[in-house]
Protein backbone atom coordinates (compact mmCIF):
# COMPACT_ATOMS: atom_id res chain seq x y z
CA UNK A 1 0.00 0.00 0.00
CA UNK A 2 1.33 3.40 -0.93
CA UNK A 3 2.29 5.65 1.97
CA UNK A 4 -0.44 8.09 2.92
CA UNK A 5 -3.21 6.21 1.10
CA UNK A 6 -6.36 5.73 3.17
CA UNK A 7 -8.93 2.97 3.15
CA UNK A 8 -12.58 3.67 3.76
CA UNK A 9 -14.53 1.72 6.34
CA UNK A 10 -18.20 1.74 7.28
CA UNK A 11 -19.48 1.77 10.86
CA UNK A 12 -23.02 1.01 11.97
CA UNK A 13 -24.56 3.33 14.53
CA UNK A 14 -26.53 1.77 17.40
CA UNK A 15 -30.17 3.01 17.57
CA UNK A 16 -31.13 4.45 20.93
CA UNK A 17 -33.93 1.94 21.49
CA UNK A 18 -31.25 -0.73 22.07
CA UNK A 19 -29.46 1.30 24.75
CA UNK A 20 -29.74 0.13 28.34
CA UNK A 21 -28.62 3.59 29.43
CA UNK A 22 -28.43 6.84 27.48
CA UNK A 23 -25.12 6.41 25.66
CA UNK A 24 -24.18 8.25 22.45
CA UNK A 25 -20.43 8.48 22.91
CA UNK A 26 -20.06 6.56 19.66
CA UNK A 27 -21.68 9.40 17.72
CA UNK A 28 -19.33 11.92 19.30
CA UNK A 29 -16.32 9.72 18.54
CA UNK A 30 -17.42 9.41 14.91
CA UNK A 31 -17.74 13.20 14.70
CA UNK A 32 -14.28 13.71 16.22
CA UNK A 33 -12.80 11.33 13.64
CA UNK A 34 -14.47 13.10 10.69
CA UNK A 35 -16.85 10.26 9.90
CA UNK A 36 -19.45 11.01 7.25
CA UNK A 37 -23.07 9.89 7.36
CA UNK A 38 -23.44 7.75 4.24
CA UNK A 39 -26.67 5.80 4.83
CA UNK A 40 -29.71 6.65 6.93
CA UNK A 41 -32.42 4.01 7.00
CA UNK A 42 -35.77 4.56 8.68
CA UNK A 43 -37.21 1.91 10.94
CA UNK A 44 -40.50 1.97 12.84
CA UNK A 45 -40.78 1.00 16.50
CA UNK A 46 -43.58 0.83 19.04
CA UNK A 47 -42.72 2.16 22.47
CA UNK A 48 -44.20 -0.60 24.60
CA UNK A 49 -43.65 1.33 27.83
CA UNK A 50 -45.88 4.18 26.63
CA UNK A 51 -47.74 2.90 23.55
CA UNK A 52 -49.88 4.98 21.23
CA UNK A 53 -53.37 3.42 21.15
CA UNK A 54 -53.85 1.44 17.93
CA UNK A 55 -56.90 -0.39 16.62
CA UNK A 56 -54.69 -2.72 14.55
CA UNK A 57 -52.88 -3.84 17.68
CA UNK A 58 -55.90 -3.79 19.96
CA UNK A 59 -59.54 -4.71 19.52
CA UNK A 60 -59.36 -5.18 15.74
CA UNK A 61 -56.55 -7.76 15.94
CA UNK A 62 -58.27 -9.55 18.82
CA UNK A 63 -61.54 -9.62 16.88
CA UNK A 64 -59.81 -11.19 13.86
CA UNK A 65 -58.06 -13.76 16.04
CA UNK A 66 -61.40 -14.83 17.51
CA UNK A 67 -63.33 -14.69 14.24
CA UNK A 68 -61.05 -17.17 12.48
CA UNK A 69 -59.64 -18.85 15.60
CA UNK A 70 -56.07 -18.00 14.54
CA UNK A 71 -53.48 -19.52 16.83
CA UNK A 72 -49.94 -18.19 17.25
CA UNK A 73 -47.30 -20.57 18.55
CA UNK A 74 -43.54 -20.96 18.67
CA UNK A 75 -41.80 -23.46 16.41
CA UNK A 76 -38.29 -24.91 16.56
CA UNK A 77 -37.36 -24.35 12.91
CA UNK A 78 -38.15 -21.87 10.16
CA UNK A 79 -38.89 -24.73 7.74
CA UNK A 80 -42.65 -24.61 8.36
CA UNK A 81 -43.04 -21.10 6.97
CA UNK A 82 -39.86 -20.18 5.07
CA UNK A 83 -41.30 -20.91 1.63
CA UNK A 84 -44.06 -18.41 2.49
CA UNK A 85 -41.43 -15.73 3.20
CA UNK A 86 -39.60 -16.49 -0.05
CA UNK A 87 -42.79 -16.27 -2.12
CA UNK A 88 -43.88 -13.06 -0.37
CA UNK A 89 -40.52 -11.39 -1.11
CA UNK A 90 -40.68 -12.52 -4.72
CA UNK A 91 -44.18 -11.19 -5.31
CA UNK A 92 -43.87 -7.91 -3.43
CA UNK A 93 -40.27 -6.89 -4.04
CA UNK A 94 -38.86 -9.27 -6.67
CA UNK A 95 -36.09 -10.18 -4.20
CA UNK A 96 -35.07 -13.08 -2.01
CA UNK A 97 -34.50 -13.05 1.76
CA UNK A 98 -30.92 -12.40 2.85
CA UNK A 99 -30.92 -15.64 4.87
CA UNK A 100 -31.81 -19.21 3.98
CA UNK A 101 -33.86 -21.44 6.25
CA UNK A 102 -30.76 -23.50 7.01
CA UNK A 103 -28.81 -20.39 8.04
CA UNK A 104 -31.58 -19.18 10.34
CA UNK A 105 -31.96 -22.61 11.91
CA UNK A 106 -28.22 -22.71 12.57
CA UNK A 107 -28.24 -19.22 14.10
CA UNK A 108 -31.15 -20.19 16.34
CA UNK A 109 -29.24 -23.27 17.49
CA UNK A 110 -26.42 -20.97 18.59
CA UNK A 111 -28.64 -18.26 20.11
CA UNK A 112 -31.87 -20.02 21.13
CA UNK A 113 -33.01 -17.29 23.54
CA UNK A 114 -32.39 -14.45 21.10
CA UNK A 115 -33.73 -15.87 17.83
CA UNK A 116 -37.29 -17.19 17.87
CA UNK A 117 -39.70 -18.51 15.24
CA UNK A 118 -43.49 -18.16 15.39
CA UNK A 119 -46.30 -19.37 13.15
CA UNK A 120 -49.99 -18.54 12.79
CA UNK A 121 -52.31 -21.45 12.04
CA UNK A 122 -56.02 -21.98 11.46
CA UNK A 123 -58.08 -24.52 13.45
CA UNK A 124 -57.17 -27.27 10.96
CA UNK A 125 -53.47 -26.65 11.54
CA UNK A 126 -52.79 -24.97 8.17
CA UNK A 127 -49.89 -22.53 8.43
CA UNK A 128 -51.11 -19.05 7.49
CA UNK A 129 -47.83 -17.24 8.06
CA UNK A 130 -44.77 -16.92 10.22
CA UNK A 131 -42.27 -14.54 11.73
CA UNK A 132 -38.62 -14.49 12.72
CA UNK A 133 -37.96 -12.48 15.88
CA UNK A 134 -34.66 -11.26 17.29
CA UNK A 135 -34.69 -10.41 21.00
CA UNK A 136 -32.05 -8.01 22.30
CA UNK A 137 -31.85 -5.59 25.24
CA UNK A 138 -35.59 -5.34 25.74
CA UNK A 139 -36.33 -4.95 22.01
CA UNK A 140 -38.42 -7.34 19.94
CA UNK A 141 -36.99 -6.93 16.44
CA UNK A 142 -39.09 -8.27 13.57
CA UNK A 143 -36.58 -9.69 11.08
CA UNK A 144 -39.04 -11.44 8.74
CA UNK A 145 -42.82 -11.83 8.59
CA UNK A 146 -45.07 -13.08 5.81
CA UNK A 147 -48.40 -14.78 5.18
CA UNK A 148 -50.06 -16.85 2.49
CA UNK A 149 -52.87 -15.19 0.54
CA UNK A 150 -55.36 -16.87 2.87
CA UNK A 151 -53.38 -15.50 5.84
CA UNK A 152 -53.45 -12.01 4.32
CA UNK A 153 -57.21 -12.21 3.87
CA UNK A 154 -57.46 -13.02 7.59
CA UNK A 155 -54.88 -10.37 8.60
CA UNK A 156 -52.86 -13.09 10.29
CA UNK A 157 -49.75 -10.91 10.66
CA UNK A 158 -51.79 -8.44 12.74
CA UNK A 159 -52.65 -11.33 15.04
CA UNK A 160 -49.00 -12.43 15.23
CA UNK A 161 -47.89 -8.93 16.27
CA UNK A 162 -50.79 -8.62 18.73
CA UNK A 163 -50.03 -11.93 20.45
CA UNK A 164 -46.25 -11.44 20.51
CA UNK A 165 -46.51 -8.02 22.14
CA UNK A 166 -49.41 -8.58 24.53
CA UNK A 167 -49.27 -12.28 25.39
CA UNK A 168 -46.18 -14.19 24.28
CA UNK A 169 -43.31 -11.71 24.88
CA UNK A 170 -44.63 -9.20 27.43
CA UNK A 171 -42.43 -6.87 29.44
CA UNK A 172 -40.17 -5.63 26.64
CA UNK A 173 -39.47 -1.98 25.86
CA UNK A 174 -39.89 -1.74 22.09
CA UNK A 175 -41.23 -3.66 19.12
CA UNK A 176 -39.05 -2.81 16.11
CA UNK A 177 -40.65 -3.50 12.71
CA UNK A 178 -37.40 -2.90 10.81
CA UNK A 179 -36.54 -0.52 7.99
CA UNK A 180 -38.73 0.63 5.09
CA UNK A 181 -35.94 1.81 2.79
CA UNK A 182 -34.10 0.87 -0.36
CA UNK A 183 -31.21 2.50 -2.24
CA UNK A 184 -29.09 3.17 0.88
CA UNK A 185 -31.96 5.03 2.53
CA UNK A 186 -32.69 7.31 -0.44
CA UNK A 187 -35.98 5.59 -1.26
CA UNK A 188 -38.73 5.33 1.36
CA UNK A 189 -41.50 2.81 0.84
CA UNK A 190 -44.32 5.05 2.04
CA UNK A 191 -46.96 2.32 1.96
CA UNK A 192 -44.81 0.05 4.10
CA UNK A 193 -44.02 2.68 6.73
CA UNK A 194 -47.62 3.85 6.84
CA UNK A 195 -48.73 0.27 7.54
CA UNK A 196 -46.27 0.03 10.44
CA UNK A 197 -47.36 3.39 11.85
CA UNK A 198 -50.94 2.11 11.97
CA UNK A 199 -49.79 -0.15 14.82
CA UNK A 200 -48.65 2.87 16.82
CA UNK A 201 -45.03 2.79 15.66
CA UNK A 202 -42.86 5.84 15.15
CA UNK A 203 -39.57 6.38 13.34
CA UNK A 204 -36.10 5.36 14.52
CA UNK A 205 -33.03 5.88 12.33
CA UNK A 206 -30.38 3.28 11.52
CA UNK A 207 -27.26 5.23 10.54
CA UNK A 208 -24.16 4.01 8.77
CA UNK A 209 -21.03 6.19 8.76
CA UNK A 210 -18.01 6.13 6.52
CA UNK A 211 -14.52 7.21 7.53
CA UNK A 212 -10.90 6.99 6.41
CA UNK A 213 -8.58 4.69 8.34
Digit-coded pLDDT (tens) for 144-179: 999 999 999 999 999 999 999 999 999 999 999 999
- DSSP β-ladder status, 139-147 and 174-179: parallel
**Dihedral, CA of residue 191, residue 192, residue 194 and residue 199, to nearest 10:** 150
Domains and CATH numbers, the chain: 12-212 (3.40.630.30)
pLDDT of residue 4: 55
Instruction: Tell me the pTM.
Output: 0.90
**Counting runs of H as helices and runs of E as strands, what totals does the chain give?**
7, 10
Residue 74 or residue 5, greater confidence: 74
pLDDT of residue 14: 83
Tell me the C-alpha distance between 45 and 205, whole Å: 10
Digit-coded pLDDT (tens) for 39-88: 999 999 999 999 998 988 888 999 999 999 999 999 999 999 999 999 99
3-state secondary structure 97-110: CCCCHHHHHHHHHH
Tell me the C-alpha distance between 210 and 38, whole Å: 6
- Three-point CA angle 209, 19, 22, nearest 5°: 95
Tell me the C-alpha distance between 162 and 181, whole Å: 24
Tell me the C-alpha distance between 161 and 175, whole Å: 9
Amino acid sequence: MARGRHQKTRLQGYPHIYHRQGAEEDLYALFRNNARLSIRNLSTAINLRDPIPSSRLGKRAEKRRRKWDIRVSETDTSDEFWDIVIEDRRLRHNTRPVHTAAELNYLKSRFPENIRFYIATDPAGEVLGGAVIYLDRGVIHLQYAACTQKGKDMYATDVIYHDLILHILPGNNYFDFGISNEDAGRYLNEGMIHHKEEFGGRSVVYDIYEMDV
